[in-house]
Structure 1
Amino acid sequence: MVMASTLRCLSSSSLTLCTSNSTPQPLSSQWGFSSSYSWRAAQSRGLGLTSLEHSDCSALVKQKDSRVFCSQATSEAFNQGDEGSGSPAGLANLEQFIELNVGFWRGTFTQYDVMGNALQCIPTRLSATSYGKGENISLLQTLHIKEAVSKTRAEDDDDEPVWQEFKLVDINLFTMEQRQHIGFFPSENAYTVSHQTSEMLEQVLRIGVLGEDDDGEEFPKGVKLPSRRPALVCESCLYSKDAQKRVRAFHVLDPRGLLDVIGIFHESRDGSSFAESQRNLPDEAGSRIESLLGKWSGKLVTRRTGIYGSTLAQYNVQVSYERNEEAKMKLEITTDRGQGTRIAMNGASLGNIMRFEGGLLTTMLPGGLALTCPGSVGQSVGRMQAFYFEFSWIEFPGQRRRLVRTYDTEGLVVSTSLATESKLS
């Protein structure tokens, strides 16, 4: 029996997503979920980051049996109250962002599946320079990808490795604030970026895995490419304390709003073998989640975008992860925001993933990395709930940082938050 449903397509500068408003399927009992009430609270509160009020779309276009939500006032809204292109604060942020990124970065790109298994590891180099002055200053970046050796080439060939170039979109005042909506924390050396395509990641995989053998197929056998029409691409970057090493994490959602690709760049500009050292870290079964268990305490800094007030706020935050013998999980987050907030979610762990009520999914990766996102953004949008992406790095035992980017139901960035935490137990 086919169940009729209304198709909702959400379209904005950053998100194009189609979801069904039919009743969601019940959650699998193997995950041991409880009521989703606390999850809805977490969504509406942004996990203690921001409070969201769902405003009506500026335009509602009816087309046959579907409804298309779009925001005609997006550009105007961002121009009202945000640090505009000519503002001293916006220019200062851009200059600091460029200074942090300029250099020659060596490392690797590793692709993971949703279970945290490495699929590909490709050597990369990235050169970043600045040009222009004042309001015209821009960051120019070129990614160099080591080409895979052709399967038809003799194994004893002594040819030098071939590196192919891919030029990234220039970053300037306009793209930083209006297109990529970069959430930047200058003093903490951390940022998040929204990308409109996954072309760069596709090129890395095609060149680094297929090389000369690439026949242009949209879905080459044995290689998982990101969707060419992703609903959303979110990049989060955390630097080491000396700012000479960094980890860049990518969430890519397919057109249905499901997690499509997880990608990690390990890079250094001080000549160290950072990427190699991260690959050689001990990675025993179960150790990834165990490193997260316990109580964490620290500070949370939140930057809201212009459409949501362009404000900066700081809170104390505590996060607790508990797991029993049956692999059932409990996540509790408390902050001193306002009168204080407390959010509790139940879930379960399986291998290197944790899944909580409402579909919240955390994938643990080697080296103390973890990526969190909704299991289905489509369901969040269908319920008119905000959603978020999180990237965390335990750089040293007992010390971690988390970047959280929250989106509203129109796909607009609400805020970017950075938590700096220490483990209490």
Structure 2
Amino acid sequence: MSSQWERLLKNRGVWLGSFTQFSSRGEFIKDTPTEIKLEGLNEDKTIRLTVTRLGQDTPPHVNEFTYLNRSIFLFEEGHFAKGNMQFSPFANFGAEFGFFKGDRRLRMVQLFDKESNFEQATLIREFRENTPKKENPALSLEQLVGEWQGEAVTLYPDWREPERYSTHLILEETDTQIKQTLKTPYLEFTSTASVENNALTFSERGQDIRSLLLPHGASLTVPLKINHRQPFFLECGWLVEPHQRLRIIRRYDETGAWQNVTLVTEFKQ
């Protein structure tokens, strides 16, 4: 099994793409072309990250580090999630997710304001330098509706053995709603969502959960407002192929403490 450091180094290279901001309703705000360079220095004992916003006068942002803190956890394939270890009311809060697939990367930043309301998301679509920029279509309901069989792996902040289990997700479309049924060895639940443009809104236990369908096969699922003393999760998804989807879920408990992060690799049946 590779180390967290080695998994991050799988992302090394020069990545060309853009930071695209969306509102909490899924409305386009702005797009900024970017170049990201991730390189290993000192026999890979140091990692340097250089972020350049193309077409702007601002200098590149350079960050060098020799270790990873617990706010970021990476999976064997190079996918990752990072964010606050603890949610606190009246403070800004957020998380970043990243998927790595050959010469393509998809990342997303989800931000909440000081009132704990979901504020905006930044979708980052990247392609390795000197490779074709082959972008997936925007995610649609038609692509998601159906039966998905998956395998999940959960990583824990206390470094206990990763947990692996199967998942079964069914998405059904009615005239005005989407019905979702999720089954794992640990839980089974059904929920329904109203649909407005590219936004799906689920109401669960007094909490509104928003899913946004975004360009390049991307999606997110977040609470519209994080309620104090109530567990919650943040999710990012990527339809990498028409019948293969990756999802990363970052869970927090009722005290606001980060519990675990799960990668789901699922295939449409």
Residue number in structure 2 paired with 1:223: none
Residue number in structure 2 paired with 1:322: 172
Q: Identify which of 228, 240, 246 aligns with 1:395.
A: 240
Which residue identity is paired with 2:178?
A: M
Deviations 1:149-189 (A, max 9, x none): xxxxxxxxxxxxx5631124x4443x432xxx212112x22
Residue number in structure 2 paired with 1:293: 145
Residue 132 of structure 1 and its aligned partner are, at CA, apart by: 4.1
Q: Is the 8 A contact 2:26 2:199 kept in 1?
A: yes
Taking the aligned partners of 1:182 and 1:336, their CA distance within structure 2 comes to 27
Residue number in structure 2 paired with 1:408: 253
**Alignment: residue pair count:** 262
Cα RMSD over matched residues? 2.3
Q: How does 1:339-418 map to 2 (within 5 A)?
A: 341-357=187-203, 358-377=207-226, 379=227, 381=228, 384-418=229-263
Taking the aligned partners of 1:114 and 1:234, their CA distance within structure 2 comes to 15
Residue number in structure 2 paired with 1:103: 13
Taking the aligned partners of 2:260 and 2:122, their CA distance within structure 1 comes to 22
Which residue identity is paired with 2:59?
A: Q
Taking the aligned partners of 1:391 and 1:270, their CA distance within structure 2 comes to 25
Secondary structure of residue in 1 paired with 2:48: strand
Are residues 1:267 and 2:113 paired?
no
Q: Is the 8 A contact 2:137 2:217 kept in 1?
A: no
Taking the aligned partners of 2:193 and 2:222, their CA distance within structure 1 comes to 14
Q: Is the 8 A contact 1:146 1:164 kept in 2?
A: no
Are residues 1:333 and 2:182 paired?
yes
Are residues 1:143 and 2:143 paired?
no
Taking the aligned partners of 2:223 and 2:147, their CA distance within structure 1 comes to 23
Taking the aligned partners of 1:230 and 1:132, their CA distance within structure 2 comes to 37
Taking the aligned partners of 2:200 and 2:122, their CA distance within structure 1 comes to 18
Taking the aligned partners of 2:84 and 2:127, their CA distance within structure 1 comes to 23
Residue number in structure 1 paired with 2:39: 129
Q: Identify which of 58, 79, 100 aligns with 1:190.
A: 79
Are residues 1:117 and 2:27 paired?
yes
Taking the aligned partners of 1:398 and 1:236, their CA distance within structure 2 comes to 21
Residue 418 of structure 1 and its aligned partner are, at CA, apart by: 0.5
Residue 329 of structure 1 and its aligned partner are, at CA, apart by: 2.2
Secondary structure of residue in 2 paired with 1:115: coil
Residue 328 of structure 1 and its aligned partner are, at CA, apart by: 1.8
Deviations 1:186-213 (A, max 9, x none): 2x221111169xxxxxxxxxxxxxxxxx
Secondary structure of residue in 1 paired with 2:256: coil
Q: Is the 8 A contact 2:80 2:98 kept in 1?
A: yes
Deviations 1:47-71 (A, max 9, x none): xxxxxxxxxxxxxxxxxxxxxxxxx
Q: Is the 8 A contact 1:385 1:409 kept in 2?
A: yes
Q: Is the 8 A contact 2:19 2:123 kept in 1?
A: yes
Q: Is the 8 A contact 2:11 2:78 kept in 1?
A: no
Sort the Cα spacing of 1:328 and 1:248 in 2 relative to 1 into closer, same or farther, 3 A. same
Taking CA–CA contacts closer than 8 Å with sequence separation of 6 or more, which of the two structures ends up with the larger relative contact order? 1
Taking the aligned partners of 1:261 and 1:404, their CA distance within structure 2 comes to 18
Are residues 1:176 and 2:66 paired?
no
Aligned-pair identity in percent equals 21
Taking the aligned partners of 1:399 and 1:230, their CA distance within structure 2 comes to 36
Residue 411 of structure 1 and its aligned partner are, at CA, apart by: 3.3
Secondary structure of residue in 2 paired with 1:95: helix
Are residues 1:251 and 2:101 paired?
no
Higher helix share: 1
Taking the aligned partners of 1:393 and 1:364, their CA distance within structure 2 comes to 10
Q: Is the 8 A contact 1:131 1:139 kept in 2?
A: yes
Residue 273 of structure 1 and its aligned partner are, at CA, apart by: 4.3
Greater shift in the superposed pair: 351-360 or 408-417: 408-417
Taking the aligned partners of 2:188 and 2:166, their CA distance within structure 1 comes to 12
Which residue identity is paired with 1:331?
A: Q
| Unmatched tracts of structure 2, length 5 or more | none
Sort the Cα spacing of 1:334 and 1:282 in 2 relative to 1 into closer, same or farther, 3 A. closer
Residue number in structure 2 paired with 1:58: none
Which residue identity is paired with 1:416?
A: V
Residue 237 of structure 1 and its aligned partner are, at CA, apart by: 0.4
Sort the Cα spacing of 1:107 and 1:163 in 2 relative to 1 into closer, same or farther, 3 A. farther
Residue 256 of structure 1 and its aligned partner are, at CA, apart by: 1.1
Deviations 1:257-296 (A, max 9, x none): 111121011112242243xx43xx655xxx7222111111
TM-score (norm 2): 0.88
TM-score (norm 1): 0.57
Taking the aligned partners of 1:126 and 1:402, their CA distance within structure 2 comes to 23
| Unmatched tracts of structure 1, length 5 or more | 1-88, 149-161, 197-228
